[in-house]
């Protein structure tokens, strides 16, 4: 539940603040791409595992992050979730103080966009990635024609489609926006993470979060 305005000014903020340079109690939409830790089978899959590309976190480590301290009274959280850990993603969302509402899908095309992607998988070869959506309070919705489906080509490992940011900007046009575990700076967004400029052009001067 959101805090009443009178209490919000006194809302306790963690010290030291783990999300520098982000501002406490500022954001009306938060996009997160958590560094999930889950088991892979075989050396072939290990070569493609997330741990080869960035540091992973346990569920307890991620749950300890005070994400609700970033939010305004009325905020939406959109979280990318790996398919083997959808229940854990919803659990993490609750631990961060948000109520699960719905989910959506990125239907992955090949890098050329001419056919569907052919990823790894224990049962099916992966051609989709999901995102879960939760809210704190009652965020005000802008556009009412945004679908929960993104069809876009895969790019570098873990790089998400630009369409997600564009959709959220239409859904929540008049709020401050934050991205956690970001890998690219973007106008209109404030980013946090130790790879937050990974995919920026070489000329970018955006300060990377600690």
Rounded CA-CA distance 62/34 in Å is 8
Q: How confident is the model at residue 13 (pLDDT cuts 50, 70, 90)?
A: confident
> Structure pTM?
0.84
The pLDDT of 184-202, averaged and rounded, is 90
> What is the separation of C-alpha 17 from the centre of its chain, rounded to a whole number of angstroms?
19
- Give percent above pLDDT 70 in the chain: 83
pLDDT of residue 85: 94
Least confident window among 2-11, 38-47, 70-79, 201-210: 2-11
**Could you tell me which CATH number the domain at 20-192 has?**
3.40.50.150
The pLDDT tens digits of the residues spanning 56-66 come to 899 999 999 99
Query: What is the rounded CA–CA span in Å between residue 210 and residue 203?
Result: 20
Q: How many CA atoms lie within 13 A of 123 on its CB side?
A: 2
Q: Which of 29-38, 61-70, 168-177, 192-201 has the lowest mean pLDDT?
A: 192-201
Rounded to whole angstroms, the Cα distance separating 200 from 142 reads 29
Domain boundaries, the chain: 20-192
> Which strand ranges, in their side-by-side order, compose the sheet holding 128-136?
149-153, 99-109, 128-136, 71-81, 27-32, 177-180, 190-192
When pLDDT is averaged across residues 158-168 and rounded to a whole number, the result is 96
């Amino acid at each position: 539940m959101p805090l009443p305005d009178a209490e919000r000014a006194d809302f306790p903020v963690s010290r030291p603040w783990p999300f520098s340079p982000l501002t406490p109690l500022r954001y009306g939409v938060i996009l997160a791409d958590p560094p999930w830790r889950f088991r892979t089978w075989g050396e072939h899959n290990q070569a493609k595992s997330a741990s080869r590309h960035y540091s992973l976190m346990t569920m307890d480590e991620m749950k300890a992050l005070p994400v609700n301290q970033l939010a305004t009274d009325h905020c939406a959280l959109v979280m990318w979730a790996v398919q083997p850990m959808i229940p854990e993603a919803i659990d993490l969302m609750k631990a961060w103080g948000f109520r699960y509402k719905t989910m959506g899908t990125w239907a992955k095309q090949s890098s050329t966009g001419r056919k569907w992607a052919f990823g790894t998988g224990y049962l099916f070869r992966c051609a989709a990635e999901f995102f879960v959506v939760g809210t704190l309070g009652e965020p005000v919705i802008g556009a009412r024609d945004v679908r929960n489906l993104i069809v876009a080509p895969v790019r570098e490992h873990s790089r998400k489609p630009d369409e997600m940011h564009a959709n959220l900007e239409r859904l929540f046009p008049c709020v401050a926006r934050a991205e956690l575990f970001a890998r690219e700076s973007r106008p209109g967004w404030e980013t946090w993470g130790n790879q937050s400029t990974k995919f920026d052009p070489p000329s970018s001067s955006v300060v990377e979060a600690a």
